Amino acid sequence: MKKIIILWASVRPAMVYSTWQDWLFKCDNKERIDIKIAVATDEQKQKIESYNFNNCEVSIVIEKSGYPYAITKLTQELETDDDNILLLLSDDFFAPNHWDTYLYSQFDNYDGAVFLNDGYQSTAKIGTFCITLACLTFRCLKKLNKIVFHPAYNHFFCDTEAWQNFKALGILKDNRDIDNTVFEHRHYVRGGRLHDEHDAKNMNNWDIDHATYQNRMKLTVNERLGIKNE
């Protein structure tokens, strides 16, 4: 039986708690969900462990700060059944009702990645594309060399590259023109949540990450993901 594995990198334990309570409330089958969370400090780890989430593992990532590096540590270390569904979550995403049943339905007779609409992405499939909420099978993750949001980035543009990589490898299902299901991204830019000190710190990386993106787009998808040519 397929499971859903939540991979989550965060430095905001209280937000993890409140967000995950909302996801659990809207879930149909909690027993089929595992959650793996990466944090930056022992204090954050202890705080999240005190919440006693079911089927939850918490690890500390200290080698490099930022979501892309921490989430890549989780994907690189993950081993599970090929058909299990992975959802790479962050603090300010909120699910629709019956979200787990919806995700299972998306992978009926399908193996790859699904473009989840976060409420900001155009359903007309035009404009700037980025995979803000990655959802894929473990088999698909292995096709990406277990890299979704590349750790070359500090924060920004890793989701834009993810879309480029998914499309280049032909592993992305995008039904947003006929499917109005939204996984709401309550981003501070549009007033979805309060701007905090972590957001302020991340803004320092915009120009650096933009330059990284421009340079990495000169590489082939296999070069970007470290995939050896056959």
Strand, helix or coil for residue 17: helix
Q: Is the pLDDT higher at 228 or at 34?
A: 34
pLDDT of residue 202: 60
- pTM of this structure: 0.92
Q: How confident is the model at residue 8 (pLDDT cuts 50, 70, 90)?
A: very high
DSSP string, 143-154: HTTT-SS-TT-S
Q: What residues contact residue 212 under an 8 Å CB cut-off, 6+ apart?
A: 152, 153, 157
**Per-domain boundaries in the chain:** 4-222
pLDDT at 193 over 70: no
pLDDT at 198 over 60: no
Residue 47 token pair: 């705080």
pLDDT at 192 over 70: no
* CATH class of the domain comprising 4-222: alpha beta
pLDDT at 196 over 70: no
pLDDT tens digits for range 119-140: 876 555 655 589 999 999 999 9
